[in-house]
Amino acid sequence: MATKKKSNSRRKAAKPKAGKSRRVKSRKTQKAGRKTAGRRSAKKPSTGRSRRGPRSAAQRVSGLLVMLPWIMQRKRVKISTMARQFNLSETELIEDLQMAAVCGVPPYTPDALIDVYMDNGMVIAEVPLVFSRPLKLSTAELFAVTVMAQAAMQLPGADKKGPLATALAKLAPLMPSGAETIKVQLPKTRFVKELLAAVNSGERQEIEYFSPATQKRTNRVITARKVFEDSGRWYVAADDHLSGEDRVFRVDRIESLAGTEIFDQLREVRDDELPWFSESLQQVTLRVQKSARWIVESYPYVSRVDNADSSVDVTMSITSTHWLGRLLVRAGNNVKVLKPSEFKSLKAQTAKAVLARYQAASPQA
Amino acid sequence: MMNLLALLVDRAKPLTLRQVRQELGKQYPESDEAARAAFERDKAALREMGIPIETKTLGGDAAGEVTYWVNRSNYELSDLRLTEPERDALQLAVATVHLGAQHGEEALWKLGGERHLKKSSMSVNIGLVDQNMGTITDAVMKRRTLNFEYKGESRQVDPYGMLSRGGFWYIIGYDHLRRDQRVFRVDRIEGRVVAGEARAFKAPENFEVAAAVPTEKQMLAAGDGEITTATVLVDAALAPGVRREFGESFVVREREDGGVEFAIPCANLGAFRQWLFAMVESAEVLSPPEIRDQVVQWLEELATGA
């Protein structure tokens, strides 16, 4: 293998002295890593491994132990492709591969070294047997596979005998016995399948939609762009031809759906572009007692402060006064509006409005 | 570190630290103490990555010396012979189902697959981002007993299983404090979870995870109130949603204006109140009078209290 590209001047030349191989270069600060996912709230910050700042030698080695078998299967891969694949900058990838290139087994003859070099934007590698097989999957990775596969099998169009199912069957012997009692349930909501088909065809759909903010049902025409599940609910991001804006609709509030036979050009919406809220939203700060913590858990918020008495001050964007009134009545004495002052009496007002119904009507009406 | 691994794997026989230093030469510091420290660091890091470094303390002439080796078959993934369509299917699953953690992608790379770099027209978010999630999932998979604080009490729980539903993760297990099976929400655990030894318990035969966690409908009924059902009128705008949620068997009567009367469980009054008030003025308890009076009393308190 050492003969293949001898003439290449960019090849890492003489194999290094052993002493140098433990050196880890100081690193430039990386530009911001992956875009944060389009989460609708700050309540679940992504804790995926941050690529910012220097990585430890252990992180780099553990990355290499994954990358080397991977590149072995392919032999030649573009540097840019490989960097994207592993969430690394090209500089980081090159540095890591350079580190690998001085590794091997004493007495470090060429055939016992990892033979990896960069040529004309390509990574070319021959890896000695020691590094040619990937590591076993960790428990965390097996768990992730279980969860993702279960969720994927519940999606529209999933084939119970298809390649995903057979792949899982091959993975099954690796799973510890406890994996059998880990279950993922996605909400079963009608129209998800139809909306997904509409995303892929571009066909405009006429929907009847119930908005709890206004307590009204509207008929509108939408072009669906992405169907997604978050925190136990299905949503569709769409061009809303009624308002002329990009909107997110809750699929379980769609009462009816029909194709229009008008087709729009397909457009992809990234997770971080999802138009969760329209612009003109008001913010409100609530003090939430511990027993009404579901408010903090169920709705997106802008910021939160945990108080010493285990209450939480939470600032959130509200979609309508009606929506806030409903929230206040549901939480009762366990929530209080701190600001703005115009909403301080909203709970009482809303309660009075509901009470009026009980006072007006005789129950047997 | 890579060279240490390569050496331990390549040499068929166990090596002492002295031999490792001879082989690796200047890669370790000259002084015995510093070399030992560097070696221990590397060894710990490799173990952290899932590479089991075995040790044995020698007897006889070399009494007290420790030898180290790595058995490849203990850490290498055997070839699963996944086909291209199978890899593609896993790739698509990883791209569609977001976990907020990278383990899925890492598993995919190890299986020889690639990250799906195209945008997908569908996505699912299943958060694994809780600080305790790693410990808990490991405990469930390996049957370790968990210790944690929950609702102000120290619990010791044998986690029989886990369920992701409605945006939350639940643990279902045997609670040693209550001496009964209980459900815990992962995000409501207070502080850090501590796990015990593997294979500490067995889950009951044919344990059904999903059935062990009550749905909202079951929650409304799961209380000790004497009155177990209330008739609730829901206006036309909201009636279809309630009907879908509870099903036809809960419908009592349909009105001409599109409103529907439902028989709703209310043994758990707290849960009932929250469910009812979510519909504000679009719903009304018709009977029995005790529940209707209770609702009026709640509203009066809210109307005057503020």
Q: Within this chain, do residues B202 and B272 fall inside the same structural domain, yes or no?
A: no
Give Cα B155 to chain centroid, integer Å: 17
Give Cα B173 to chain centroid, integer Å: 13
Q: Within this chain, do residues B151 and B114 fall inside the same structural domain, yes or no?
A: no
Give Cα A135 to chain centroid, integer Å: 25
Count other Cβ atoms within 10 Å, centred on residue A104. Answer: 27
How do A312-318 and B53-57 pair as beta strands? unpaired
| pLDDT of amino acid A342 | 87
Q: Which residue of A has its CA nearest to B124?
A: A229
Establish if B97 belongs to a structural domain: yes
Expressed as residue numbers, the domain containing B119 is 84-125
Residues across chain A:
365
Cα–Cα distance for residue pair B42/B24, rounded to 1 Å? 13
Sequence-distant (6+) residues with CB within 8 A of A316 are: A283, A284, A286, A299, A300, A301, A302
Distance to chain B for A168, nearest Cα, Å: 9
Please identify, among B208, B227, B243, the residue that sits at the C-terminal boundary of a domain. Answer: B208
Where does the pLDDT of residue A13 fall: very low under 50, low under 70, confident under 90, or very high at 90 and above? very low
| pLDDT of amino acid A277 | 54
Name which of B167, B207, B215 is nearest A44 in CA terms: B167
Query: Cβ distance B266 to B230 under 8 Å?
Result: yes
More confident residue, A111 or A186: A186
| pLDDT of amino acid A272 | 66
Phi, psi of A319 (to 5 degrees): -85, -25
For chain B, which residues score pLDDT lower than 50?
306
Classified by CATH at the fold level, domain A282-359 comes out as: Alpha-Beta Plaits (3.30.70)
More confident residue, A47 or B186: B186
Q: Within this chain, do residues B203 and B226 fall inside the same structural domain, yes or no?
A: no
Say if residue A22's pLDDT is above 50.
no
Query: Cβ distance A37 to B96 under 8 Å?
Result: no
> pLDDT digit string (tens) for B237-292?
888 889 988 889 999 999 999 899 999 999 888 889 989 998 888 899 998 999 99
Q: Which residues pair with A284 in a beta bridge?
A: A316
| pLDDT of amino acid B255 | 93
| pLDDT of amino acid A25 | 30
Measure CB to CB from residue A325 to each of B110, B280, B284 and give the nearest one.
Answer: B280
Residues of A within 8 A of B106 (CB-CB) are 66, 138, 141
Q: Within this chain, do residues B147 and B110 fall inside the same structural domain, yes or no?
A: no
How many CA atoms does the CB half-sphere of A81 hold within 13 Å? 13
Q: Within this chain, do residues B300 and B226 fall inside the same structural domain, yes or no?
A: yes
Q: Which residue of A has its CA nearest to B50?
A: A138
Residues of A within 8 A of B128 (CB-CB) are 144, 147
| pLDDT of amino acid A294 | 82
Token output for A73 = 């299967």
What letter would DSSP give residue B178? T
Give Cα B31 to chain centroid, integer Å: 46
Query: What CATH number corresponds to the domain at position B32?
Result: 1.10.10
Name which of B113, B297, B228 is nearest A358 in CA terms: B297
Distance to chain A for B245, nearest Cα, Å: 10
High-pLDDT (> 90) share of chain B, %: 33
Which residue is associated with the tokens 């099954």?
Answer: A172
Residue burial B254-290, b: 16+ Cβ < 10 Å; e: rest: eeeeebbbbbbbbbbbebbbbbbbebbbbbbbbbeee
The answer to whether the predicted template modeling score (pTM) of the entire model surpasses 0.90 is no
Residues of A within 8 A of B79 (CB-CB) are 133
Q: Which residue of B has its CA nearest to A202?
A: B121
Count other Cβ atoms within 10 Å, centred on residue B189. Answer: 21
Distance to chain B for A195, nearest Cα, Å: 10
What is the crossing angle of helices B133-142 and A139-153, to 10°? 90
Query: Cβ distance B12 to A130 under 8 Å?
Result: no
* Partner-chain contact B121 A61, CB within 8 Å: no
Cα–Cα distance for residue pair A51/A33, rounded to 1 Å? 6
Query: Cβ distance B159 to B213 under 8 Å?
Result: no
Burial of B158 (0-12, 13-18, 19+ CB in 10 A): buried
| pLDDT of amino acid A24 | 29
Establish if B193 belongs to a structural domain: yes
| pLDDT of amino acid B117 | 64
* Partner-chain contact B1 A61, CB within 8 Å: yes
| Mean pLDDT along residues A318-329 | 85
How do A182-184 and A122-126 pair as beta strands? unpaired
- Say which amino acid occupies B271: A
Alpha helices in A75-138 (DSSP H): 79-85, 90-100
How do B122-125 and B146-150 pair as beta strands? unpaired
Say if residue A318's pLDDT is above 60.
yes
| pLDDT of amino acid B184 | 93
What letter would DSSP give residue B50? T
Q: Within this chain, do residues B139 and B110 fall inside the same structural domain, yes or no?
A: no
Q: Within this chain, do residues B229 and B278 fall inside the same structural domain, yes or no?
A: yes
Give the sign of the dihedral formed by CA B131, CA B137, CA B142, CA B148. Answer: positive
A vs B, Cβ pairs < 8 A, gives 344
> pLDDT digit string (tens) for A68-122?
888 888 888 999 989 988 888 999 999 888 888 877 777 777 777 778 878 888 8
Name which of B98, B128, B292 to mutate to probe chain A: the one with the most chain A Cβ atoms within 10 A of its Cβ.
B98
Measure CB to CB from residue B299 to each of A216, A326, A354 and give the nearest one.
Answer: A354
Q: Within this chain, do residues B42 and B116 fall inside the same structural domain, yes or no?
A: no
Residues of A within 8 A of B306 (CB-CB) are 344-345, 347-348
* Partner-chain contact A58 B1, CB within 8 Å: yes
How many structural domains are present in chain B? 4
Cα–Cα distance for residue pair A67/A50, rounded to 1 Å? 18
Residues of A within 8 A of B124 (CB-CB) are 151-152, 155, 186, 228-229
Establish if B213 belongs to a structural domain: no
Q: Specify the DSSP element, H or E, that contains B221.
A: helix B216-221
> pLDDT digit string (tens) for A271-281?
666 666 554 56
Say if residue A38's pLDDT is above 50.
no
Pick the CATH number of A192-273 from 3.40.50, 2.30.30, 1.10.1040, 3.30.519: 2.30.30
More confident residue, A12 or A318: A318
Residues of A within 8 A of B203 (CB-CB) are 178, 181
> How many helices and strands, by DSSP H and E, does chain B display?
12, 14
What are the boundaries of each domain within chain A?
A: 55-135, 139-181, 192-273, 282-359
Q: For Cα atoms B61, B63, B64, give the angle at the middle one, nearest 5 degrees.
A: 155
| pLDDT of amino acid B223 | 76
- CATH number, domain A55-135: 1.10.10.10
Query: Cβ distance B193 to B132 under 8 Å?
Result: yes
Peptide bond into B288 cis (omega under 30): yes
Say if residue A31's pLDDT is above 80.
no
**What radius of gyration do chain B's Cα atoms show?**
29
Name which of B105, B164, B97, B103 is nearest B125 in CA terms: B97
- Chain A neighbours among B 131-190 (CB < 8 Å)? 134, 137-138, 140-143, 160-168, 187
Measure CB to CB from residue B85 to each of A61, A163, A233 and give the nearest one.
Answer: A163
Burial of A62 (0-12, 13-18, 19+ CB in 10 A): buried
**Backbone torsion region of residue A157, taken as left when φ is above 0, otherwise alpha when ψ lies between -120 and 50, otherwise beta:** left
Residues of A within 8 A of B24 (CB-CB) are 18, 106
Phi, psi of A234 (to 5 degrees): -95, 140
Residues of A within 8 A of B298 (CB-CB) are 332
| pLDDT of amino acid A257 | 95
- Chain A neighbours among B 78-107 (CB < 8 Å)? 79-83, 85-90, 92-94, 96-107
Say if residue A12's pLDDT is above 70.
no
Complex prediction ipTM:
0.79
